[in-house]
Structures are given as structure tokens and as C-alpha cells.
């Protein structure tokens, strides 16, 4: 069997690495196609190195652009590779423009698409990610839903065939790397941090960074934090802060350490030892519940409602009073902190990668890995 992986951003590399590894353990060599949606060393190559994915077959160098530019150029370049390689299946993960481009290019060549992390919905169609997820799911033949909730979302859109609940590969990634991170990373010493005495912040989503008003609200929250906070900053956010004239202001916050984006081992160690995580990231919301760190999500919705239900995550939006209320409660109310920190991980047992590979090999063996004319026959 010849699988192809299409990926291009930081979270896709992290979440697909366990699947690629599971194929390799069965002596199946996948074709690795990196679109180049993320291209800075610390947004891409550092993860390829840390996760030992240095044998990329195609670097497409798509880069940044408007939504249509980025997706369109990626589609054109992916199509060329898929036409040449004719893999048996194309795997994509998540909800980025790379995913949409990979899924569309593939299904139109009648190469079946397997979507890892299928069925997530924020129910906010103004987010580029929501459009990408919906379209990728509907273009996919095999849908790997991380939870039953995700499976239900697919059912509600009429997708019942080809859906497998396998857990989320982020658990595999955390389990495979947390201990290595604990041993190897010197990030706490480097930043002068004591375990559980600081907050980790990451914010990069378009809805928070593309408007000056929202970015200003974020800065106000950070200015009011009562303990030290570390913010490994996504380049998108840094660019916008500069554009909106907020960069000098955020740099002046005494309690805040801004760093470039961190590698996976450093970031995992930083997260694991934090008292609180504040984020708008999907992957970081998932990891914080896996690592038993309470998460305050700086958004008004989440496509990871399982974390809220489990009690490990609270939506605070960009509401300063609400955010500060929960920060203070987590710092001062030990029972509340312990309750959030002990919320049960809803994303599975860390064997999602293996399950995905097993299912795909089985479908292939039985001649079922193909684009069918209808889902309903």
C-alpha cells in the first residue's frame, strides 16, 4: 500500500507524526508532501527534526497569501505530485488551508481521502477553519473522528459511512514526547521559571488577531495578569501587533515574557509545568487536559467541547473581568484548581495512530479504499 500525507503547518506535523510512525513500523513507506504553509524554522523544520520526519519527499513552498491564493496554489502543486505518485490514499489532518487543498486535489483525482480529526465543529462559519473542516469531511472517504461527539456532528450532516472513532493523535504525540521533553528541555532554567508559578499564553487565531479591537482586549488581559506569563508568539500575532501599533505596549508588560515560537519539546515542558494555560489554539486546549493543566480558552466557542464538559477548560472569550476572575480563582482556590487539573482526558489512550493505520490497511486489503460514487450505497 502506498499512502501519501499532505501537511504544511505546525499542528499537522505534530499530530500526523504518530500516524507516519505507525506506518513505518509496519514497513510501509509513506510519501510525505509538505506544502510549506508554515516555513519559518521554528514553525516547521524544528518539528520535522524533533519528530524525526526529515525525509520529506516533496517541499511545495506554497508560503503565505490570501485564503484563495494559499489554497489555490497549494491545490495546483499538490495535484501535480498526486498525479505523478498516484497513492492509494491521501491523509490530511485538521482544518487548515493545506487540508482543504489536499482533500480537494485528491478526491478529484479519485484518490480517496482519509481525514484525521474529522467531525470537529465550532458552529461558527465565519472561521476559515470551520469551512475547511466541513468541506474536507465531505470530500473524505474515510473519517477518523477523535470522539463520539465528532462522530455525531458528522451524522448530523448525513455522513454515516466510513466513520471510525479512534481517539485523537495528539494523545499519542504527548505520550511519545512528554517524557523526552521533561528530560531534554531546559526551558524552565532558560527562562528562570519555577514549576506551577507561571501561566502559558498562546493566541494566534484570525478572529483574535485580525482586528485591532480584539488584539487590544488581549493586551489588556495580559497587562492585568497577577503572575508571570510566558507567551511564545506566533508570527501572525507579532505582525498584527506591530501593524496595529500595539507591539511597544505589549513589550512593556513587566510580568510577560514574549519568546519566539518554541519547539515541541520546550513547549510541552513549559505547558506541563504551568499553573494555567490561556490560549485560542485547538491543539493546546487538547494538550492541557492531557497534561492536567487547567485551560482558559480566549474564544467564544470551541470545536473541542469535550474539554469543557470534562471540566478542564473554560471559555472566557476576550472578556477581561471573566478571564481575570478565573485566573485568580485558579491561583487562590486550591479545590477549584485541583478539580480542573484532574479533569479526565476525553481524547483517548494514545493509540489513535496505530488504529488509523490498521483500519486503512484492512480497507486496502479488502479493496474498499476507493472513491465511491455515493456514500449511501
Q: Within 10 A of 305 (CB to CB), how many other CB atoms are there?
A: 19
Q: Among ligand UD1, ligand UDP, none, what does residue 362 contact (CB within 5–8 Å per kind)?
A: none
d(CA 157, CA 138): 9
Q: What residues are annotated to the active site?
A: 204
Where in 283-302 is the site for ligand UDP (CB under 6 A)?
A: 283-284, 287
Where in 1-20 is the site for ligand UDP (CB under 6 A)?
A: 10-11, 14
- String marking each residue 315-354 x if it binds ligand UDP according to CB under 6 A: ----------------------------------------
Beta bridge partners of 257: 230
- Strands across the sheet containing 295-297: 256-259, 229-232, 199-202, 276-279, 295-297, 313-315
Q: How far is the CB of 156 from ligand UDP (least distance, A)?
A: 23
Q: Which residues bind ligand UD1 (CB under 6 A)?
A: 9-11, 37-40, 43, 64, 70, 95-97, 128-129, 204, 234-236, 239
Nearest Cα to 276, choosing from 298, 255, 294, 256? Answer: 294
d(CA 314, CA 299): 9
Q: How far is the CB of 1 from ligand UD1 (least distance, A)?
A: 28
Q: Alpha helices, DSSP H only, in 114-203?
A: 128-139, 148-156, 169-184, 187-191
Q: How far is the CB of 80 from ligand UDP (least distance, A)?
A: 26
Residue for grid cell 523526552: 180
- String marking each residue 241-270 x if it binds ligand UDP according to CB under 6 A: --------------------xx-x--x---
246 with 215: CB under 8 angstroms?
yes
115 binds ligand UDP (CB under 6 A): no
Where in 182-211 is the site for ligand UDP (CB under 6 A)?
A: 202, 204
Q: Among ligand UD1, ligand UDP, none, what does residue 261 contact (CB within 5–8 Å per kind)?
A: ligand UDP
d(CA 271, CA 266): 9
Q: Among ligand UD1, ligand UDP, none, what does residue 264 contact (CB within 5–8 Å per kind)?
A: ligand UDP
By the 10 Å C-beta count (0-12 exposed, 13-18 middle, 19+ buried), 133 is classed as buried
Cβ proximity to ligand UDP: between 53 and 363 the closer is 53
Which residues in this chain contact ligand UDP in the complex, by CB under 6 A? 10-11, 14, 202, 204, 232, 261-262, 264, 267, 281-284, 287
Amino acid at each position: 500500500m502506498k499512502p501519501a500525507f499532505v501537511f504544511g503547518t505546525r499542528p499537522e506535523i505534530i499530530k500526523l507524526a504518530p500516524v507516519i510512525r505507525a506506518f513505518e513500523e509496519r514497513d510501509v513507506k509513506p510519501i510525505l508532501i509538505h506544502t510549506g504553509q508554515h516555513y519559518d524554522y521554528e514553525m516547521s523544520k524544528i518539528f520535522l527534526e524533533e519528530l524525526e520526519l526529515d525525509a520529506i519527499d516533496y517541499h511545495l513552498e506554497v508560503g503565505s497569501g490570501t485564503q484563495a491564493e494559499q489554497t489555490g496554489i497549494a491545490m495546483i502543486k499538490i495535484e501535480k505530485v498526486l498525479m505523478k505518485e498516484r497513492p492509494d490514499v491521501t491523509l490530511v489532518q485538521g482544518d487548515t488551508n493545506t487540508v482543504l487543498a489536499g482533500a480537494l486535489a485528491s478526491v478529484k483525482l479519485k484518490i480517496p481521502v482519509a481525514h484525521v480529526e474529522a467531525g470537529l465543529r465550532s458552529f461558527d462559519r465565519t472561521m476559515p477553519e470551520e469551512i475547511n473542516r466541513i468541506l474536507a469531511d465531505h470530500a473524505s472517504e474515510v473519517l477518523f473522528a477523535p470522539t463520539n461527539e465528532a462522530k455525531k456532528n458528522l451524522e448530523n450532516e448525513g455522513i454515516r459511512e466510513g466513520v471510525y472513532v479512534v481517539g485523537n493523535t495528539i494523545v499519542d504525540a504527548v505520550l511519545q514526547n512528554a517524557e523526552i521533553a521533561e528530560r531534554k528541555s531546559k526551558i524552565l532554567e532558560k527562562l528562570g521559571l519555577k514549576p506551577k508559578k507561571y501561566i502559558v499564553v498562546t493566541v494566534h487565531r484570525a478572529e483574535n488577531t485580525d482586528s485591532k479591537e480584539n488584539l487590544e482586549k488581549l493586551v489588556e488581559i495580559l497587562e492585568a495578569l497577577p503572575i508571570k506569563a510566558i507567551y511564545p508568539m506566533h508570527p501572525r500575532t507579532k505582525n498584527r501587533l506591530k501593524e496595529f501599533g500595539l507591539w511597544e505596549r505589549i513589550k512593556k508588560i513587566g510580568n510577560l515574557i514574549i519568546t519566539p515560537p518554541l519547539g515541541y519539546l520546550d513547549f510541552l515542558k513549559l505547558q506541563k509545568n504551568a499553573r494555567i494555560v490561556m490560549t485560542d489554539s485547538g491543539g493546546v486546549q487538547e494538550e492541557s487536559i492531557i497534561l492536567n493543566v487547567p485551560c482558559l480558552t480566549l474564544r467564544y466557542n470551541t470545536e473541542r467541547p469535550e474539554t469543557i464538559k470534562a471540566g478542564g477548560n473554560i471559555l472566557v472569550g476576550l472578556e477581561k473581568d471573566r478571564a481575570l476572575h478565573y485566573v485568580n480563582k485558579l491561583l487562590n482556590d486550591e479545590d477549584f484548581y485541583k478539580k480542573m487539573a484532574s479533569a479526565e482526558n476525553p481524547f483517548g489512550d494514545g493509540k489513535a495512530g496505530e488504529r488509523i493505520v490498521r483500519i486503512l490497511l484492512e480497507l486496502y486489503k479488502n479493496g474498499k479504499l476507493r472513491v465511491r460514487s455515493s456514500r449511501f450505497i
